[in-house]
Chain A
Amino acid sequence: MARSFYPIENFAPAPQQVSLLPFRFTRFFGQELLVNEAGEFIFAPEGTAYSLLEGAVDVRSLLYKDLKAKHIVYDETSSALLDVLATKIRTKYDHLSGGTKLHIFVVTLRCEHSCHYCQVSRQTASKGEFDMSRETADRSISLMLDSPSPHVTLELQGGEPLLAFDMIQYIVPKAKEQARIRNKGLDIVVTTNLACATDEMLTYFRDEEVRISTSLDGPAFLHNKNRPRPGNDSYERAIDGIERGRAILGHSNVAALMTTTAASLDHVEEIIDEYVRRDFHTIFLRPISPYGFALKTKNRTGYEMERFLEFYKQGLAHILNINRSGYRLAEIYSQILLSKILTPQGTGYVDLQSPAGGAWNVLVYNYNGDVFASDESRMLAEMQDWTFRLGNVHKDNRRSLFTSEAALRMFEVSCNQSLAGCSDCAFQSYCGADPIYHHATQGDMYGHRPTSGFCTRNMEVIKHLFSFIQEDNPETMGIFWSWLTGRPLPQKGGTCD
Chain B
Amino acid sequence: MRLTTAGSARNIEEAIVGRITTQNLPDATRGQYIRFFAEGEAPILDFAGYRAILSHADLATDYPVVDRLRESEHFRDGDVVVVERDGFVRSLYRSYERHHSLFVTERCSSNCLMCSQPPKDKDDVESLTKRNQELIRLMSPAPEYLTITGGEPTLLGDHLFELIDQLKTSLPNTELHMLTNGRTFAWPEYTRQFAAIEHPNLCLGVPLYSDCAGDHDYVVQAKGAFDQTVAGLHQAARNGIRVEVRVVLHRLTIPRLTRLVEYIYRNLSFVEHVALMGLEYVGYTPRNIAELWIDPFDYQAELERAVNYLVMRNMTVSIYNHQLCVLRQSLWPYAQKSISDWKNLYLTECEKCSALEDCGGLFKWAVKKHSEHIHPL
Contact = CB atoms under 8 A, between A and B. Distances in A.
Interface string B114-138: 0000110100000000000000000
B259 A66 contact: yes
Interface string B207-220: 00001111101100
A343 B119 CA distance: 39
Interface in A351-372: none
Nearest to A490: B312
Contact of B313 (A77, A78, A84, A481): A481
Contacts of B11: none
Contacts of A5: 111, 113, 221, 288
Nearest to A478: B312
A12 interface: yes
A204 B119 CA distance: 68
Interface string A50-82: 000000000000000110110000000111010
A344 B214 contact: no
B215 to A, nearest CB: 7
Contacts of A3: 111, 118-119, 121
Given A12-B213, A87-B234, A344-B266, A1 B121 contact: yes
Contact of A11 (B121, B223, B256, B266): B223
Given A66-B259, A496-B308, A344 B213 contact: no
A495 B308 contact: yes
B227 A69 contact: no
B193 interface: no
Given A11-B218, A487-B314, A78 B213 contact: yes
A38 B356 CA distance: 47
Interface residues on B, range: 35 or more
A77 B214 contact: yes
A485 B214 contact: no
A78 B121 CA distance: 27
A84 B231 contact: yes
A442 B134 CA distance: 77
A496 B312 contact: yes
Interface string A428-443: 0000000000000000
B324 to A, nearest CB: 19
A354 to B, nearest CB: 20
B266 A88 contact: yes
With most chain A CB atoms within 10 A of its CB, the pick from B265, B267, B308 is B267
A78 to B, nearest CB: 4
Nearest to B119: A3
Interface in B211-246: 211-215, 217-218, 221-224, 226-227, 230-231, 234
B263 to A, nearest CB: 6
A181 interface: no
A1 B267 CA distance: 38
A263 to B, nearest CB: 39
A224 to B, nearest CB: 41
12 contacts: A2-B118, A3-B118, A5-B111, A12-B213, A12-B218, A66-B259, A78-B227, A87-B234, A343-B313, A344-B269, A481-B312, A487-B314
Lowest 10 A-B CB distances belong to which pairs? A12-B214, A78-B213, A11-B217, A69-B211, A79-B227, A11-B218, A481-B312, A485-B314, A8-B218, A344-B269
Interface of A: 1-3, 5-6, 8, 10-13, 38, 40, 65-66, 68-69, 77-79, 81, 83-84, 87-88, 343-344, 477-478, 481, 485, 487, 495-497
Given A65-B212, A78-B226, A344-B266, 11 more contacts: A5-B113, A11-B222, A11-B223, A13-B214, A68-B212, A69-B263, A84-B234, A84-B267, A88-B266, A344-B269, A487-B312
